[in-house]
Structure 1
Amino acid sequence: MKCLNVLSLLALSAVASASLATETVTLKVAHFLPAVSNAQRSVIQPWCDKIAQESDNRLRCQIYPSMQLGGTPAQLPDQVRRGVADIVWTAPGYTTGRFPRSEAVELPFMLPANGELGSKIIWEFYEQALKDDYSDYKVLALHSDGGMQLHNSKRDIASLADFQGAKLRASTRMTSRLLDALGATPVSMPPAQMTESMSKGVIDGALVGWEVVPALKLDEITRFHSEPMDGQPIFSTTLLSFLMNKQRYEQLPDDLRAVIDRNSGLSLSTTFGASWDREAARARQVVRDKGATLTTIDGTEYLQMREAGQRVTEAWSSEGDEKGINGTWLANTLRDIAKANGQSY
């Protein structure tokens, strides 16, 4: 009888293992942009297609763009942590206070205006300094938006004096601090509100990356675009993340976890960044074709902006030290990694 019981248990275990090995897993993937956005079209959907192919269609995605699962972009980290979504793509900076160390990535004039290189720097920084911020998640990618430029509807901004009186949209707490230090009035609002707000004169312009300009039709109402010269650190960078529910990942069979692992990390981060670079090049051409003014900020004017940004960095570093997250060390570590990757200061 005991022998029969053991054999029965072994048989049930074998059936369960076979069932697990052939299980189809559908991953709910949520983000805040439309389905036609660069993020979904160029990276998220191809990533989903790749993990499906490598898993013999045992891993599949159901993508929910434009916050179709409800809530706001700031709530996406909570949604994936609680299992409302299995994976989210979002900006950690939208959720103030949740990822305190990660704010270092958005410090002024720290990273290049290059999404692929910036994403490599960010991933190395994550591995050295940011893991405590993401202990509740399986981090699939952290990447750069290629840096932020100034896009304005009424006038060019090429000097520190030009910021005076300008109302500019800021995406995060750090960009608000930078714009304030430069003399502008920062205005916080979701990406979807920018175009209408600019057309109605609620704001004069925005500090955002090139990639969103055609996507949000900002090219139709902005006539002036300015940025530092090539090779110089950019005003600020939006950190973007692709995060998975940690328990969902850990519950996958070993071979499916291996598929996820092969398609995440540094390679996926730089894939995101390279996609942003391609979109930035396309956006520049779009505004050129429409006769917009593109201004390169250099020399004394650029150095004055850098000095204003340095005051923001020093204040943030001191605050971070007081809060116990080693703000000074974080800022210095990120700068050292950027220098090691060829960024000049």
Structure 2
Amino acid sequence: MNTLRRTVLSTLAAGFLAALLPQAHAADFTFRLQQFLPQQAAIPAKAIAPWAQKIEKDSGGRIRIQLFANMTLGGKPPELLDQVKDGVIDFAWIVLGYTPGRFPKSEVFELPFMSGEPEQSSRAFYEYVTKNSIDEFKDVHLITVHTHGPGLFHSRDPIAKLEDLKGMKVRGGSRIINMMLEQLGATPVGMPVPAVGESLSKGVISAATVPWEVAPSVKLHQIVKNHTGFSGNRGLYTQTFALIMNKASYDKLPADLKKVVDSNSGPDVAAAFGRAMIAADAEGMDLAKKAGNRIVTLDEAETQRWKRSAAGVRALWYKEVGDKGIDGQKLAAEAERLVEQYTKTK
């Protein structure tokens, strides 16, 4: 076979094989998503990453979402909302309570003993937001919202009864949680999750309010030896979260790719994020058990004492939002109804 013929046949064979193989190509749209936890933490690894991969798959590779953990693109966790609003980044996973005053109607889910199991509470929270507080997200394109699991304490000293909390410096993750801690007799210290581990190690705080889910990422099971939860199907507190997108980034997508984003938004995504919280809560508790830590679930009678002591938070919140023309009692009743509804349909 002469050289020319071999070259022609090789070229034809290469072309044939290329036709059979999927063609790699650059994405039509590359977006950046920033959040404040390590990438291996539960929500970034078990919820955000699979969600971003599904967007890429459903779009046939035309949308790519780059993930940036630990605020590596700059800024602090409370700035994420405005970073998305202003187009500095395209997506963010945010804690609503990190920006006080921006989500007054959505705050209702943070009231003491309002929320419980995270998958069902996240579905309830999504429906609540779409019906009652969607205007609070008018500056961004909302993908979904969700809650974490039942809130508890992680402390240097044991918390076995309400009196043990008196005067204790405790990290609170939102304005409402800090109000609750004060009602319970603690000294609230506001800070985002990434600061919790170091603050406990240095004695800046004596306890932290975070779910089991986040404990491994800040090594709480190594820093403290006491963990205190509550009886019943509602947690002492919850934080609320949202996955948001820059409006201009969404608007520039063609209709078929908007449909891809839309189909990966909403209540089912809220539930998926809630399920990630459930699995991570179990992992966090398991690490504490393996470390030989003291894990206490307060009995029903003691839990009722905490409920009575925390009840004043609702009255304070009703007055605060009432001054803004918001009917807090009506919103709280609606939130209670939705949580109960979704808990029953589990």
| TM-score greater than 0.5 by the shorter chain | yes
In structure 1, give the amino acid aligned to 2:55.
Answer: I
RMSD (CA atoms): 1.4
Q: Check whether the contact 2:121–2:342 (CA below 8 A) recurs between aligned residues.
A: no
The Cα of 1:165 is off from its aligned counterpart by 2.1
With structure 1 as the length reference, what TM-score do the two structures score?
A: 0.89
CA contact (8 A) 2:118 2:149 kept: yes
One of 31, 35, 39 as aligned partner of 1:35: 39
Q: What SS does the aligned partner of 2:65 have?
A: strand
Give the match for residue 271 of structure 1. Answer: 272
For 1:109 and 1:23, the matched residues in 2 are separated by 45
- Shift in Å, 1:214: 0.9
Determine if the alignment matches structure 1 residue 248 to structure 2 residue 219. Answer: no
CA distance in 2, matches of 1:36, 1:282: 13
Secondary structure of 2:243's aligned partner = strand
What is the match of residue 206 of structure 1? 208
Instruction: Extract unaligned runs of 5+ from structure 2.
Output: 1-25
d(CA) in 1 for partners of 2:310, 2:106: 17
Structure 1 residue 337, shift from structure 2 partner: 1.1
Instruction: Indicate if the aligned counterparts of 1:147 and 1:208 stay in contact, CA closer than 8 A.
Output: no
Instruction: Name the larger-Rg structure.
Output: 2
Q: Deviations over 1:199-244 (max 9, x none)?
A: 2222111111101111100110111111112x43111111011001
Pick closer, same or farther for the CA change 1:302–1:252 going to 2, 3 Å. same
| Cα deviation code 1:279-334 (max 9, x no counterpart) | 00011111111111111112332111111222101210122112112222211110
- Structure 1 distance, partners of 2:252, 2:221, is 45
Q: How big is the shift at 1:185?
A: 0.9
Q: 1:197 aligns with which of 196, 199, 208?
A: 199
Q: Does 1:259 align with 2:263?
A: no
Question: Contact (CA 8 Å) 1:317, 1:331: kept in 2 or not?
Answer: no
Shift of 1:171: 0.8
Deviates more, 1:125-134 or 1:176-185: 125-134
**TM-superposition CA deviations, 1:18-77 (whole Å, max 9, x none):** xxxx97001111111122222221111111111111111001011221112211111111
CA contact (8 A) 2:27 2:64 kept: no
Alignment partner of 2:134 out of 131, 135, 139 = 131
> SS in structure 1 opposite 2:197?
helix
Instruction: Work out whether residues 320 and 328 of structure 1, in 8 Å CA contact, stay in contact via their aligned partners in 2.
Output: no
The number of aligned residues is 319
Deviation at residue 158 of structure 1 after TM alignment: 2.4
Q: Is 1:318 paired with 2:326?
A: no
Supply the distance in 2 between the matched residues of 1:321 and 1:244 (Cα, whole angstroms): 30
**Counterpart in 1 of 2:91?**
87
Q: 2:120, 2:339 within 8 Å by CA — same for their partners in 1?
A: no
Is residue 99 of structure 1 aligned with residue 103 of structure 2?
Answer: yes
Structure 2 distance, partners of 1:150, 1:137, is 33
CA-CA distance at 1:86 after TM superposition? 0.8
**Distance change in 2, residues 1:23/1:34 (3 Å):** closer
Q: Name 1:281's counterpart in structure 2.
A: 282
Who is 1:169 aligned against?
171
Q: Which residue, 148, 152, 165 being the options, matches 1:149?
A: 152
2:155 maps to a residue whose letter is N
Tell me how far 1:121 sits from its aligned partner.
1.2
Looking at structure 2, the residues matched to 126 and 30 of structure 1 have their Cα atoms a distance apart, in angstroms, of 23
User: 2:120–2:343: 8 Å Cα contact kept in structure 1?
Assistant: no
C-alpha contact (below 8 Å) 2:36/2:194 kept by paired residues? no
Is 1:147–1:238's contact at 8 Å kept on the other side of the alignment?
Answer: no
Determine helix, strand or coil for the equivalent of 2:64.
Answer: strand
Match for 1:184 among 183, 186, 201? 186
How far, CA to CA, are the matches of 2:159 and 2:133 in structure 1? 34
Of all paired residues, the percent bearing the same amino acid is 35
- Select 1:48's aligned residue among 43, 49, 52: 52
Q: CA 1:131–1:111 in structure 2 vs 1: closer, same or farther (change >3 Å)?
A: same
1:59 match: 63
> Quick check: 1:301 aligned with 2:302?
yes
Letter in 2 for 1:134: F
User: For structure 1, which runs of at least 5 residues remain unmatched after alignment?
Assistant: 1-21
Residue type of the partner of 1:220?
Answer: Q
Secondary structure, counterpart of 2:212 in structure 1: coil
Contact 1:90 1:241 in 2 (8 A): yes
Change (3 A) 1:139 1:150: same
Offset at residue 163 of structure 1 (A): 1.0
Which SS does the other structure have where 1:143 is aligned? strand
User: Within 1, Cα distance between the matches of 2:223 and 2:276?
Assistant: 24
- Label 1:204 to 1:259 Cα distance change in 2 as closer, same or farther (>3 A): same
* 2:311 alignment partner, SS class: helix
Do 2:170 and 2:188's aligned partners in 1 also have CA atoms closer than 8 Å? yes
Match of 1:78 in 2: 82
1:160 Cα deviation after fit:
1.4
